[in-house]
Structure 1
Amino acid sequence: MTAQPPSTPPLRHPFRDRTLPFAKRVDDLLSRLTLDEKVSFLHQFAPAVERLGVAAFRTGQEALHGVAWMGPATVFPQAVGLGATWNPELVRRVGDAVSKEARAMRARDDRVGLNVWSPTVNLLRNPLWGRNEEGYSEDPGLTSAIATAYTRGLRGDHPTYWRTAPVLKHWLAHNNETDRDTSSASVRPRVLREYDLRAFRETVEAGAVAGVMPAYNLVNGRPNHLSPYLREHLRTWTDEDLLICSDAGAPSNLVDSERYFDTHEEATAAALLAGVDSFTDHGTDSSKIAARLHGALERGLLTEADVDTAVRHQLSVRFRLGEFDDHDEPGAFDTPEHRALALEAAEQAVVLLKNDGLLPLAPGTRVAVVGLLADECKLDWYSGSLLHRTTPLEGIYDRFGADHVTFAEGVDRVRLRTPDGTYLHVLPAPEDPASVPSGVAALDPALVAGRTDLPPLTHDPVGTELALVDWDGGVLTLRAPDGRYLSVAEDGYVRASADQPGGWVVQETFRLEPYGHGHLLRHLGTGHHVQVAADGVKVAEADPTVFELVVAERGEEAVTRAAAGADVVVVVAGNDPHINGRETEDRTTLRLPPHQERLLRAARAANPRTVLVLTSAYPYAFDPAPLSAALWTAHGGQSAGTALARVLAGDVSPSGRLPQTWYASDADLPGLLDYDVIGSRQTYLYFEGTPLYPFGHGLSYASFGYGDPRAEVDGDSVRVSFTVTHTGDRRAAEVAQLYARAAQESPTPRPRRELLAHERLSLAPGESRTVTFEVPLTALAFWDVSHSRWRLAPGPYDLLIGASSEDVRLRLTLHLDGEPSTPRPVLERGLSAADFDEQGGIEIVDRSKVSGDAVTPVGGGTGELLYRDCDFGAGAAGLTVSVAGGGSLDIALDGTEPLATLSPTAPTSSPYDYTTLTAPITAAGVHDVHVRLRGPLRLAHVGFSGGGSKAADDGDGVRARDR
C-alpha cells in the first residue's frame, strides 16, 4: 500500500495578508468574488461567502446618542442636547464611549453592527422639523465641530483599525418630514455651498467619516439618492473610500412614490451610478434588490465594473474595521466612567434662559415639582433601553430631601361613561405567575405595546379613573392608575400594556371627537374608533361607542394645591419625543400645548416664584416675563433628573448654550419647505427680527468680563485674541464666541453675523484666561454666483466677541484687501439659470435626471429672476435660451421694456427635452438682466453673442442647443 502525502494546508489568499496595503487586499478579495456574490453584497444584509471564509455583514447600526435598538445601553442626551454643550471634547468622549459599548455588545450579540449610522449633520434650519432632536445646530460651523468630535470618538484611536465606522446622515438639505419622500428643497448655489454642504464637508475632511446616507427628499427636483453632488463634491473631499448607504426604502421610492423612473431596474442602476453602494430596502430580504441589479446588468444599464466600484467601497470599510484580520478591540459597557460621562453631558446640556436671582435654590427650600414631564425620563426613536434613570422629580427628591418636595403631575383625571351607564375599566395586571392564566407568560417589568397576553379593557358600573393628557392638536394619551398606557395591539383590542408611547406607529394616542351629546374615541394608530363589545374593548370600523367624558379633577387643581404651599415651584414641561414632532411628523407650531399652558398659569397664579424647566427636543415660544427663571434641556438620557437637580441647587453652574435660534412666534418662521435661508432671512445668520432667545444664548450663576481684544492678519489667516476673567464667586464655565460680519453694505446679501470660533472655558473665581483663535480668511468668503467661485470681498469686517450672537462684549474692525467685484462676463459664459442674485416665485429643478439645474415658476405660474451687473462689452447682437416644457419668457435690461419675448412653438415632449430659442437684441455695457417666466417653462441657460460670434456655452461646456 502506497503511503499518501500529507494534506496540503488551505491556501492563504493575499486579502488575508496583513503586510499588504488595504487597497491591494480589497482588489484581491474583489477578484475572487463571482458576479452573483458581488451583487449580493450591495444589499444592507450582505450574506457570507463561506468558500472564502467571508462572514455576513450588515450596514447600519443606530448610535445617535448611545447604541440604539439593541437593548440596554448607556443613554446620553439627545443630539441637540450634545450640540447645546458647545463642547467638542466632551462629545468626542461620548462618541468614544458609544463605540466601546458597540464593540462590547457585539461580542455577545453579532446582530450589533459596527457600521454606525450617525451622527446626523442636517442643519436645524427650521425648529418645526420633526427630527430637530437629531441634529446639533442651525450653524454649519458648530454642527461640523460637534459632528467631527463625535465621529472621532466613534472611529477610535487605533492607528490602523476603526472601532466603528460612522456614516453621516442625511445628504442633503433635509429638514422636513412633511412629504419627505416627494418634496423638493429648492437650494440656490450660495445656500448649497455656504450652508448645506459645509457641515458635511468639514466633517468629512476631518478624516473620521466612513460614509454618508442620502436623505429621502429631493434637492432641486432630483432625489438625493441620485445626487450628482455625491460625485462632484463628497468623494473629492477625502482620499478614503466612502460607503454610501441608502436610507430605508428609498431605492423603491424612486419608482413607487417619486415616480422618477418607470422601472426599478432603471432606478437601481441610476442610484448605483450616482454613488449608492449599499441598498437598504425590503428589510432582510435581499432578493428584490439583487433581481433589480441583475435586471439592470442584463439591460446594459450597468456593467460589472460599476458593481465592482460599489463593492470596493463596502470592502474598504470592512477591512478598516479589522474584520479580515480577526481584529476586535476590547469594548466597555455600562462602566462607572460611562455613567459619570452621561451625567456630565446632561449637566453641560442644561441652558439657563432667564434668572431673576431665584436660582440657585438655597438648601432647605421647599420645592413643588409639577408638570407632565416632572416624573418622566423620556426616550426617543433612536434611544437605547435605559439601564439607569432619574426623572426630574427623583433628582430633586435626592438633592433636596423628600420631606422638602411636593409633587403634582397635573394630568386631567377622567372616566369614560358608555350609553348604558357603565365606565371603561382597566383590569389589574397579573402580579405573579400564579395569577396568570395557563399558557400566558408572566408580566414583564417593562411593558411594551403590542402585547396580547394582558386582558383587554372592559366596562363596569365603577370603571377606572384614567390620566388624560392632551399633547396638542387633540392628540391624547390615556393612562391607568398603575402607570400603564392604553394601547392597541395587532388583534385590535385596547389594553393597558405600554410603559410609554413609542414605536414606528404610535399605538398609544387617541382623539376625542365631539359626537351628539358625547364623544367618539378615535385610536390614531389604526384610524378606527373605540367600541365597547361583549368580548372586551377594541377598535372597529363600524358601530363606535359614544362616550361621555366625566372629569374627576383638572390637572391645574392639583398643581395649585402643590404650588401654594411651597417656597418655589418648578414646572417641568415639554414634549414626548414620539408625539407631535418626530420622524415622519413635523410640528405645526412653536407654542406650548394648551394643557401645559394651563398648568403653567395655575402654578404662577398660586406662587409667583415659578421656574419653568422645558425638557424638549426643540425650541418653544412662550412668555418668560412672569417667570422668575427658565431653563431648557433636551431629553437628557439616563441622568437627566440628577443633572437638572444639581443645576437647580447650584452644585454646577449652568453652561449650556442654545444651538439654534428660539423665535418669539410662528410668524417669525418662513414656510417649512422654504430652504432659501438667504432669501427668506432664516437662522441667526440672516434673521432680522427680535428672537425670544438668540443663537448662543445661555446664562450662568457666575459673571465674566471680556477685555484686551487684538486682531492681526497673518498671511492667509487672522489671529484674534482676548481675555476672559471670572468675576463671580463660584467655579463656572463660559463659552466665549467669535463672530464676524461684513461691515460694508453690499448688493450681495451677507450674514448679519456668522460664528467663526468658540471655546469653552472652566474658570475659578478671579481667574483670567487668554483666548486665541486662528481663523482662515476663507471663512469670510462667499460663493460668488457671478463667477461660480469663492471670493473674499474687500473692505471692513467687524469682529464681534462675546457670550452669544447678540451679547457682544468686544468689537474690532479689520480692513481686508480681498478681491473686488467684477461684472458677469455674459458674452463668454452666458447665464446659468440657477445662478441668479434674486428671485420671486421661482424654484430650482433638475435640468436632467443625471446633473444640472434649471428654474421654473412655482406651480406653473409666474416667476422673476434678477442677474446683477452683466457685462455685454462692446455689444451683444444675439440671444439664445435653452428651455423645456411650455410657456414663455421675457428678458429685459435694468427693468425696462423687454428686449425679447420667447416661447416654444409647442411644449417640448418632456421636461428634459430642451430646445434653443433665439432672438436678435442690442445691448452694450453693464446692466442688470431681468427674466420673467410664465407657465410650466424650464429655463436652463441664457446665452448672448456679439456681432458674428457664436452663442456662449452654458457653463457646463455644452452649447445652448437642443438636448
Structure 2
Amino acid sequence: MTAQTPPTPPFRDPQLPLAKRIDDLLGRLTLDERIAFLHQFAPAVERLGIAAFRTGQEALHGVAWMGPATVFPQAVGLGATWNEDLVRRVGEAVSAEVRAMRARDDRVGLNVWAPTVNLLRHPLWGRGEEGYSEDPKLTSAIATAYTRGLRGDHPAYWRTAPVLKHWLAHNNETHRDTSSSSVRPRVLHEYDLRAFHETVRAGAVAGVMPAYNLVNGRPNHVSPYLREHLRTWTDEDLLVCSDAGAPSNLVDSEHYFGTHEEATAAALRAGVDSFTDHGTDSSKTVERVRGALARGLLTEDDIHRAVRRQLSVRFRLGEFDPGSGPHADIRDFDTPAHRALAEEAAEQAIVLLKNDDDLLPLPEDTRIAVVGLLADECKLDWYSGTLIHRTTPLEGLYERFGAERVTFAEGVDRIRLRTSAGTYLAVPEAVDASDEARGAEGALDPALLAGRTDLPPLTTDTTGTVLALVDWGDGVLTLRAPDGRYLSVADDGYVRASADQPGGWVVQETFRLERHESHGSRGPHDSHDSHEDGHLLRHMGTGLYVSVAADGVKVAEGNGEIFTLVVTERGEDCVARAASEADAVVVVAGNDPHINGRETQDRTTLRLPEHQERLLRAARAANPDTALVLTSSYPYAVDHEDLRAVLWTAHGGQAAGTALARVLAGGVSPAGRLPQTWYAADSDLPDLLDYDVIGSRQTYLYFEGTPLFPFGHGLSYAGFAYENLTHRVTGDEVKVTFTLTNTSGRTADEVPQLYLRAVNPSVPRPRRELAAHRRVTLAPGASTDLTFHLPLTAFAFWDVAHSRHRREPGAYELLVGASSEDIRLTTTIDLDGTPAVPRPVVELGLNAADFDDQRGTQIVDRTKTSGDAVTPVADGAGELLFHDCDFGDGVTEVTLEASGEGTVEFSLNGGPVLAVLNLSPTAGPYDYTTLSAGIAATGVHDVHLKLRGPLRLARVGFVRHEENRAVV
C-alpha cells in the first residue's frame, strides 16, 4: 500500500480564518504546554512541529544587542525630526534588518519591544533618550509612524510585531520599581493615556509592556487600565509582555502581594500574557502558575486567554504558514539604502538653536578648531546595535573641509596617578592579547576587549603612564590609556585597560576620586603638580577602592591606595591654543549615554559637567566665533549669551559626524525642532516624582516661566513667510489652511506647527497645545498651501465632574507658527459644545480622586484590583477642592468611605468647618468604613476637605433633606 500523507492540521491552513486557526492550535495544546507558553521563552512543541518562540527583541533605533546592525539616531533624535514619513522609513529598515538577522540567527526575535512612548515630562529622567517628545500629539504621531514601519504594509502578515513601552506614567529611574506616580484623572486622560491611545488606534501595534512603577499606588503589572482602557481601543488581540523581573518585583521589592502565586495570578488576570522573569529559566514562572491554579487563584480560562493573545501575534508573523509567511525571505541588511537613510535621519534630527549674525554655515575656506570631549566620538547607548560604519564630528569635518583646515583638541586632562610609595600607575602594552581579539592585520579589536581577563592588569613603575581623565559630572570619571583603551574592571577584580567605550548594564569603566582626609583641601585642578592632594579611587561598578598589590592593580575591600594626581596638561589649555589659531571654533559637548543619565539612573542637574564648562569658557575666551554643538540624550541649561551659534543633536547613530559636517558647511539647512522644553535652570523644574503636569505647570503645555529654548524651536538657514490663515468648521472637524513660502535663495525644510488654545476655559487648560504639524521641503521662492483637518474632539478636555471628555462652547484660538512661542498667524473660532453644569453630588456623590485641585495629597489604590483613593502625603495633612457641587434643595448629612485612621474636615467655599469626621483605625488600608456627620447645605458650593493622618478617602456621599440615607 502507498503511504498516505497526513492531513494538514487546520492551524497550518492559511486559507482558514485566523480565529479558527488559533482555536485549532489551542485545542491541540495540553495544559502544561499552555502554561509553558506564559514565559518569555516559550519552548518548542515538537509533536506539533512548533518551534520555540520568545517575546522581546530590542529595536528602539535599530536592532539592538544582536551584534552589527544599522544604527539610527536615538529615539529622541527621531522625535526631533518631526517627520513621520522619515520615521516610518526608519521603522521599515529596522524591521527588514530584524528579518534578515533572524534568517541567520534564530535568537533574533520578531516580537520587537519598541517604540518607547513614555512622554518626556521631566528632562532629568534617565531614559529621556528613549522617548520622542513631552507632547502626547507629537509622541503618538512619531510612534505611529515607527510602528507602521515595523509592522509593514501587508494586509495580513506583519514583518515584526511592535510592543509599546512602558505602560504607564513612567518618568523616573530613582526607585523605579517601588515609586508610585500620582496621576489625577485629567492628567491620565489628557496626557499619559493619550500617546498610547492614538498609537494603538492606528492599528500597527501588537501589544504593550507595563512599566516597573506603580500608578496611584498600584503596580502597572496588575493595572485595571489594561482592561478598562487599552483593550477597549482595538478589536485586535493585544499582547502584554511584562518588563524584565517585574513579576517578581510584585512580591520581592514592592511587597504588594504576600506570595508569588498571588502576584502571578493577579498579573495574569489583569492582562499580562508573557512573563519576562529569571532570564531563560522558565521553571519559576511555570511553578508559580501551577501553584496559583492549585490554590484556585487562576482558572484554565485565564491561561487560555493569555496564550490565545500570544498565538495571535505568532500567526500574524507567519510562523505557522508554509514558508513562514511572505516576509521570511527578507535579506535587506546594511544596504546602501539603509546607510543613506541613517545619514538622512541624522541630518533631519539636528536642531539649530541659535545663529547670531549668521555665523553658520561656515564658508568652505574656514580654518576650524573642533574641540571637546565628544568631538571625535560616535557614542552608542544601551539600546544600540554594534556599529558597522561610523563617523565622528571630527571625521565629518575632515571630509567636508579638508584635514589641512581642521585642527583638533579633545580637551581631556592628562594626568599621572602617583602612589603613596612614590611610584605611578602604569598601563602595560596589550601585546599578549589572544588571537581572537585581533583583526586581519593583527590589530587589536577594541570591541572584544571589555571584560577580558587575559590582558595584563595595571601595575606601577617609576615613570607611569599618562592617562586621559574626564569628569562626566557628579564626580564620575573615566580614565583612558594613550592608545584609547578605557580602564575597566573585570570579574576577577583587576584593573585593566580593556574597554573600547564605557558600557554594559553595570558600567565597569567609571571611577570617583574621593579626597583622603589626612591630606590637603585643594582639588585636582588647583595645581599642575598637586602632590599634597591625596585621593582614594573608588570603582563605581563595584563600589570598591583601587589598591596596588604585588600581582597588579585591583579593586578590593578596605580603604585602598592613596593616590596623588599629577596634572601634566590641562584640557582647557589645549582648547585655548587650538581656538586662538582658528577662524571659527566648534565645541562638541554633551553626555556619554552610559554615564550619569540612562536606564536605572536619573540625572541630578541640567547643567553641563564642570569639565565641559571649563572647555567651553576657554574656547569662548580665545575666539568669539565659537559654535557649541550639544550632542546629548537630554536638554541642558547652558549660558549661551556670548555664544554666536548653538546646535543640538541627539546621538545620531552611525552617520552622526557626516550629518553634522553637512549642516555646519551648509550642504543641508537644519530643520529639526525641539521635542521638549529646554529649561533655563534647575529651579524651573518640579520634583522628579511630581506627575501632575497641570497642578505643577509642567511641559510647554502649562509652564509659565521663560524657557531657555521653547518646545518646537529650531532655526533655519532659510527664511519662511506664513500667510493667508483661514478656517472652516465642517461636520465634526475644523479645516485650517494657510500659505507657506520659502523667501530665501536655498532649498530648505520648514516645520509649520498648529496650536490651539481655549480662550476662557472653566478649568485650567494648556497655554497652547500642539494640534498638527508637517515637515515641508520648499525650493527657493516656492509656496505651498497647507491644510490641517482637526477633529472637534481635539478641543475637548476630561471633565472630572462627569467622568467624560467634554468640549466647552466658546472661543478658541488657532495659532500657526515655527514653534510654540514663534507664532506667525492667529485666528479665533467659536465652537458649540456642552456647557459646564454643576456636579450632581447628591445623585452621584464624589470620587475623592476626581478633585479639581489639591494640596499635599496623593492618589493611591482603593483596592488591589480597581479604584482610587486619596491620602495625605508624608506630613499627614492635605486638602481637596471640588468646584460647583450642586446640593439641590438641601442635604442634611455628609458620608465618607475611608480606611486607615485620621480626621476629615468638611467645609464649603473656604468658610468655617461644618463637620469633623474622625476615623478610628481600621483593620488595614483596604478595610473601608463609612463615617457620617450632619450638615446643612443647599444650592451650588465648592466643597473643601482637609485630610489629616494616614487615612485613605475613597468617596464622599450626601443625604437629601427629605431622605434618611446616603446617596453614593
TM-score bin, normalised by smaller chain: over 0.9
The residue number in structure 1 matching 2:287 is: 291
1:358 positional shift: 0.5
The residue number in structure 2 matching 1:389 is: 390
Q: 1:507 to 1:675 in 2, by over 3 A?
A: same
1:11 positional shift: 3.7
The residue number in structure 2 matching 1:256 is: 252
1:41-60 superposed matches below 5 A: 41-60=37-56
The residue number in structure 1 matching 2:504 is: 503
The answer to whether the 8 Å contact 1:860/1:936 transfers is no
The residue number in structure 1 matching 2:82 is: 86
Which residue of the other structure, out of 635, 646, 650, is the alignment partner of 1:634?
650
Whether 1:591 aligns to 2:592 is: no
The residue number in structure 2 matching 1:175 is: 171
The answer to whether the 8 Å contact 1:943/1:951 transfers is no
Question: How far apart, CA to CA, are the structure 2 residues paired with 1:465 and 1:831?
Answer: 69
The residue type paired with residue 772 of structure 2 is A
Question: How far apart, CA to CA, are the structure 1 residues paired with 2:237 and 2:535?
Answer: 59
Question: How far apart, CA to CA, are the structure 2 residues paired with 1:276 and 1:772?
Answer: 42
The residue number in structure 2 matching 1:569 is: 585
**TM-score normalised to the size of structure 1?**
0.97
Whether 1:808 aligns to 2:808 is: no
Question: How far apart, CA to CA, are the structure 1 residues paired with 2:793 and 2:909?
Answer: 33
1:10 positional shift: 2.6
Deviations 1:541-566 (A, max 9, x none): 02511001000011000001100100
The residue number in structure 2 matching 1:958 is: none
1:104 positional shift: 0.2
1:183-262 superposed matches below 5 A: 183-262=179-258
Q: How many residues align?
A: 945
Q: 1:715 to 1:435 in 2, by over 3 A?
A: closer
1:180 positional shift: 0.1
The answer to whether the 8 Å contact 2:365/2:401 transfers is yes
The residue number in structure 2 matching 1:463 is: 464
What stretches of structure 2 of length at least 5 have no aligned partner?
520-533
1:7 positional shift: 3.5
Q: 1:778 to 1:578 in 2, by over 3 A?
A: same
1:878 positional shift: 1.9
Which residue of the other structure, out of 668, 671, 688, is the alignment partner of 1:655?
671
The residue number in structure 1 matching 2:369 is: 368
The residue number in structure 2 matching 1:957 is: none
**SS of equivalent residue, structure 2 residue 272:** coil
Question: How far apart, CA to CA, are the structure 2 residues paired with 1:204 and 1:416?
Answer: 56
What stretches of structure 1 of length at least 5 have no aligned partner?
955-963
Question: How far apart, CA to CA, are the structure 1 residues paired with 2:433 and 2:384?
Answer: 30
The residue number in structure 1 matching 2:403 is: 402
The residue number in structure 2 matching 1:352 is: 352
Whether 1:545 aligns to 2:561 is: yes
The residue number in structure 2 matching 1:931 is: 945
Question: How far apart, CA to CA, are the structure 2 residues paired with 1:111 and 1:223?
Answer: 30
Question: How far apart, CA to CA, are the structure 2 residues paired with 1:935 and 1:446?
Answer: 57
The residue type paired with residue 340 of structure 1 is A
Question: How far apart, CA to CA, are the structure 1 residues paired with 2:875 and 2:575?
Answer: 54
The answer to whether the 8 Å contact 1:413/1:555 transfers is yes
The residue type paired with residue 458 of structure 1 is T
The answer to whether the 8 Å contact 1:102/1:331 transfers is no
1:771-810 superposed matches below 5 A: 771-810=786-825
Which residue of the other structure, out of 754, 776, 788, is the alignment partner of 1:761?
776
The residue number in structure 2 matching 1:959 is: none
Moved more, 809-818 or 90-99: 809-818
The residue type paired with residue 548 of structure 1 is T
Question: How far apart, CA to CA, are the structure 1 residues paired with 2:964 and 2:75?
Answer: 55
Whether 1:681 aligns to 2:697 is: yes
The residue number in structure 2 matching 1:871 is: 886
**SS of equivalent residue, structure 2 residue 729:** strand
Question: How far apart, CA to CA, are the structure 1 residues paired with 2:966 and 2:753?
Answer: 47
1:251 positional shift: 0.2
The residue type paired with residue 936 of structure 2 is T
Question: How far apart, CA to CA, are the structure 2 residues paired with 1:442 and 1:702?
Answer: 47
The residue number in structure 2 matching 1:339 is: 339
Question: How far apart, CA to CA, are the structure 2 residues paired with 1:201 and 1:86?
Answer: 19
Whether 1:317 aligns to 2:313 is: yes
What is the percent sequence identity of the aligned residues? 75
The residue type paired with residue 935 of structure 2 is I
1:658 positional shift: 0.2
Whether 1:17 aligns to 2:17 is: no
Which residue of the other structure, out of 555, 575, 593, is the alignment partner of 1:559?
575
1:449 positional shift: 2.2
The residue number in structure 2 matching 1:306 is: 302
The residue type paired with residue 139 of structure 1 is D
Question: How far apart, CA to CA, are the structure 2 residues paired with 1:260 and 1:548?
Answer: 49
1:893-932 superposed matches below 5 A: 893-904=908-919, 906-932=920-946
The residue type paired with residue 346 of structure 1 is A
Deviations 1:121-174 (A, max 9, x none): 000000000000000000000000000000000001112100000000000000
Question: How far apart, CA to CA, are the structure 2 residues paired with 1:118 and 1:94?
Answer: 13
Q: 1:78 to 1:297 in 2, by over 3 A?
A: same
The residue number in structure 1 matching 2:619 is: 603
Question: How far apart, CA to CA, are the structure 1 residues paired with 2:808 and 2:731?
Answer: 16
The answer to whether the 8 Å contact 2:432/2:455 transfers is no
Which residue of the other structure, out of 267, 272, 277, is the alignment partner of 1:276?
272
The residue number in structure 2 matching 1:644 is: 660
**SS of equivalent residue, structure 1 residue 903:** strand
The residue type paired with residue 544 of structure 1 is G
Deviations 1:778-826 (A, max 9, x none): 1010000011111111111111100000000000000112211000000
Deviations 1:461-495 (A, max 9, x none): 01000000000111000000000000000000000
The residue type paired with residue 920 of structure 1 is G
The residue type paired with residue 197 of structure 1 is L
1:441-456 superposed matches below 5 A: 443-456=444-457
The residue number in structure 2 matching 1:881 is: 896
Question: How far apart, CA to CA, are the structure 2 residues paired with 1:434 and 1:343?
Answer: 34
Moved more, 916-925 or 167-176: 916-925
The residue type paired with residue 593 of structure 1 is P
Question: How far apart, CA to CA, are the structure 2 residues paired with 1:624 and 1:795?
Answer: 42
Deviations 1:681-701 (A, max 9, x none): 000000000000000000000
Question: How far apart, CA to CA, are the structure 1 residues paired with 2:778 and 2:19?
Answer: 48
Question: How far apart, CA to CA, are the structure 1 residues paired with 2:433 and 2:231?
Answer: 59
1:844-859 superposed matches below 5 A: 844-859=859-874
The residue type paired with residue 311 of structure 2 is L
The residue number in structure 2 matching 1:330 is: 330
The answer to whether the 8 Å contact 1:724/1:770 transfers is yes
The residue type paired with residue 82 of structure 2 is W
1:8 positional shift: 3.9
1:446 positional shift: 2.1
The residue type paired with residue 348 of structure 1 is Q
| Alpha-carbon RMSD | 1.3
Q: 1:791 to 1:554 in 2, by over 3 A?
A: same
